[in-house]
Chain A
């Protein structure tokens, strides 16, 4: 109990430090950028007379420290403020993150199945192991947007099975398939390499020598040891899911977090940009902490099993 409370306190302090650094960093970068929200809003009509009128009406203090204090106070009261166009940021973030999280969850499930399918296929025949490794390395070399465009061409234009974008249940299939193949390839390579290392260990060779069926060795003994590191890797990979989802949301026109960040960036909406950064950092921080807990549990579990033997 004492260990758990200490762990939670440490995590809470690191998260607070993280929020402070990220807020300052994003505000600093936004201040350094050329152009401003006012130029973006006025567009072709940004003549000096109209710019002066807007500048008087729009009170945006130039002082970075003032902006930083205001922002930090807002974040610690769970109030992300409003966008430059007057919308409340928190409901906007929640709506956008539902889409990104749903996409990430569906992709995680697909990638899980893809990864373990590779593991079982690689266990059936030795020569499939090398071929599957090469296939997954090739998939890993494909940039995610290349895969997305290929699937749009194949499934939407040529075969007309799935729609190329929008918001609806069927419209998640193509982006989820794209994201899951990339992360599934990483998971498959990890599982195949881990299996190869574990096969050299004494306990596996003993099982082979005792005549244990190969299927039993791979499906029960090896799988038990591979499962927890796989889940840790999965969780650590979460930030890649968020980044990949950002690109896919632009291609498939899904109004998720990544799409919101890119449009906020082009519109010079500082408030929204720093809010999205803090929010996505929170999600990644949460999954990394979960991965830490699992990794510690796995260490204790394997030490305990070793001591029992």
Chain B
């Protein structure tokens, strides 16, 4: 799928989620499809289409912010590892964290902060830090080995100058690739956390949470689980298409 179409669809979803306001009306619980409720109503009488759009936006925003935070953390750790003698500390920590499945790590980190939304965001960011850090550190190391960097170093440039003039412009480009390459994984990890109930007590209802609630009605109202699942699949599919196109173009 065209990268521009994927971005346009994701942005449209994000903006619509800010407008959508599903309202609880228990008298309209499980109402049928109509002009007023194009996809029917939920168990609490909310318009299901608005609920889906609002939940999609919530999941997308948290995944986006989590991904951005993860990249900032890994940029910080890879740069400080380069400038200061902290490389082995970060490397050992990253190797240790890489042996734990990302989902287990996100579960552990879930209650790190008192505010539940920030806690969820932090858990997502830190759980993905190890992979991003190893990627960026390896890129810094490879870039440092290049002829022009070695020439600059041997002409008397210090590490800080090397970082500012040669490595940072390159790292910015790599961070962009890293963002798109692992964004689908962030969406999948976040939706899994929401499904397992780790997004409780947050201000938003994610798509994973809607699937978890909908599966209780799987026998007589399968659409309550299938429609959030479809929205989630479409979002992940769009981000996978983006990942492929953009990482090919940027590479």
Q: Which residues of A contact B (CB under 8 A)?
A: 14, 17-18, 21-22, 25-26, 29, 32-35, 137-138, 140-146, 149-150, 152-153, 157, 239-240, 242-243, 246-247, 250, 258, 261-262, 265, 273, 277, 280-281, 284-285, 288
Contacts and interface: CB of A to CB of B under 8 A. Distances in A.
Contacts of A258: 104
Nearest to B238: A141
B104 A18 contact: no
Contacts of A150: 226, 229
B99 A284 contact: yes
A138 B46 CA distance: 30
A157 B218 contact: yes
B222 interface: yes
- For A149, A240, A262, the residue with the greatest tally of chain B CB atoms inside 10 Å of its CB is A149
15 contacts: A21-B92, A22-B100, A33-B111, A35-B111, A141-B233, A142-B236, A144-B188, A145-B195, A145-B211, A146-B211, A149-B218, A242-B104, A246-B104, A247-B195, A265-B107
Contact of B229 (A146, A157, A262): A146
B211 A280 contact: no
Given A138-B237, A149-B225, A277 B100 contact: yes
Given A18-B96, A280-B100, A143 B208 contact: yes
Interface of B: 92-93, 95-97, 99-104, 107-112, 114, 184, 188, 191-192, 195-196, 208, 211-212, 215, 218-219, 222, 225-226, 229, 232-234, 236-237, 240-241
Contacts of B102: 243
A223 B219 CA distance: 45
A26 B108 contact: yes
B211 A246 contact: no
Contacts of A32: 111-112
A273 B108 contact: yes
B101 A243 contact: yes
Nearest to B93: A21
Given A149-B215, A247-B195, A280-B100, A141 B109 contact: no
B92 to A, nearest CB: 6
A149 B109 contact: no
Given A33-B111, A138-B237, A145 B96 contact: no
A242 B208 CA distance: 20
B101 A137 contact: no
Contact of B236 (A29, A35, A143, A288): A143
Given A21-B92, A262-B107, A143 B99 contact: no
Nearest to A257: B104
A289 to B, nearest CB: 11
Main secondary structure of the interface of A (DSSP, over half): helix
B236 A141 contact: yes
A123 B102 CA distance: 35
A22 B12 CA distance: 42
A33 B195 CA distance: 21
Given A34-B111, A138-B233, 15 more contacts: A137-B237, A143-B191, A143-B232, A143-B233, A144-B188, A145-B208, A146-B211, A149-B229, A242-B101, A246-B101, A258-B104, A261-B104, A273-B108, A280-B100, A281-B100
B108 A277 contact: yes
Contacts of A143: 188, 191-192, 195, 208, 229, 232-233, 236
A145 B192 contact: yes
A145 B209 CA distance: 11
B196 to A, nearest CB: 6
Given A143-B232, A280-B101, A25 B96 contact: yes
B237 to A, nearest CB: 4
Given A32-B112, A143-B188, A146-B229, A152 B101 contact: no
B141 to A, nearest CB: 19
- For B101, B112, B233, the residue with the greatest tally of chain A CB atoms inside 10 Å of its CB is B101
A29 B109 contact: yes
A245 to B, nearest CB: 9
Contact of A250 (B96, B188, B196): B196
A140 B184 CA distance: 10
